[in-house]
Structure 1
Amino acid sequence: MLPGFRSFQAASTSMLPAFAPGACFVTERRDRDTNPPPRGAIIVFRHPLTDADPIFRLTGLPGDEVQMRNGRLWLNGAEVAQSALPDLTYDTSQDPTFPCPSAPPGTATCEIDRAMETLPGGANYPVLNLRDGPLDDTGLLTVPEGHVFVLGDNRDNAADSRLPAHSGGPGMIPVGNIWGVVSSDS
């Protein structure tokens, strides 16, 4: 491995469909960079309370107001655009713990609602919606200076910035904790 680069592995289904559990990728170290990456970047960061290196999508920048309403992302008072995509068929035999409310027990595949989300600035990516979940509605959150807000693309299976660090998520991520940005070539 070249100096300044590090390899990581996706530990969960929180970033489906971009990264399946076990997917490997490489990032370049962002030493001393005090500017956050752009909205829509997939980042790896040091968890504020643990030694974990989660991978999530950066959706909120310092000063942004972020909220989830009925499973949809709102930024600065405006609903983020989504357009329907064909359902994703996920092979649950690879991960028998994957929560799939639409499939009977013992079924090998799961059909998951999928949509293309487009952030202000144009970054777009597919997101998944398994069901109505407890994190589908949040209060209005303001991203503090020097921090970012992250979400998993698999919204109903992601312990992301919607959860504070003391409740199992990472909360707002200090920009200095961002290890690197995952290249689209990973």
Structure 2
Amino acid sequence: TNVGDQDRFKINDNGSVSVGPDAVDEINLYPSNNDLLPSGNRGTVDIGAGNNSTADIERQILEGLNDTDLSHFTNNEVKATNSNPLSLNGDTGISAGFKDELKHIIGQSRCIPIFREIPVGNGNNCTYEIIKFVGVKVVDVKLVGNPKGVWVQPFTYVDDTVVPDTTGAPITEDTIFTTPVLIE
């Protein structure tokens, strides 16, 4: 990936995205030729069924995970920490087959997985050790022609289905939060 190499887009107060700097660098999630990752990878991961289905990924991009996706995980929860990573199979590349879905979410917050080291295996046989999820906002998508890219900026992701950490550990740099609730 190309980290912190550009600031071409800005997120406006109304959530829309326009061309111009905003002092927040974009990250291109599209694989580059200088990646140290195994061939046929650096695209998406299978969350839920491991069938490498473009239809599943399209739905997850637009709507998030559903009950069937979550049923593949303990207590129907997707959890990942440095001390207890989540193993997910890689999918081969980023398909132009779901470029329309990615373009549809420009300006919207999503969470993406972060892995800790170069995975072993190629294509759909590659396993990523996910250590956390971070919030991003998609600012541009170009999967046809060159240069290709899915550019995102770090951004806060808030969802009422996020399960909060109740261990009392301090929040230091997370970007994913659940909606606040009143407690007595």
Which has a greater percent of helix?
2
Asked whether the two chains share a fold, i.e. TM above 0.5, the reply is: no
Task: Report the TM-score, using the length of structure 2 for normalisation.
Answer: 0.24
Question: Higher relative contact order by CA 8 Å / sep ≥ 6: 1 or 2?
Answer: 1
Which has a greater percent of strand?
1
Task: Report the TM-score, using the length of structure 1 for normalisation.
Answer: 0.24
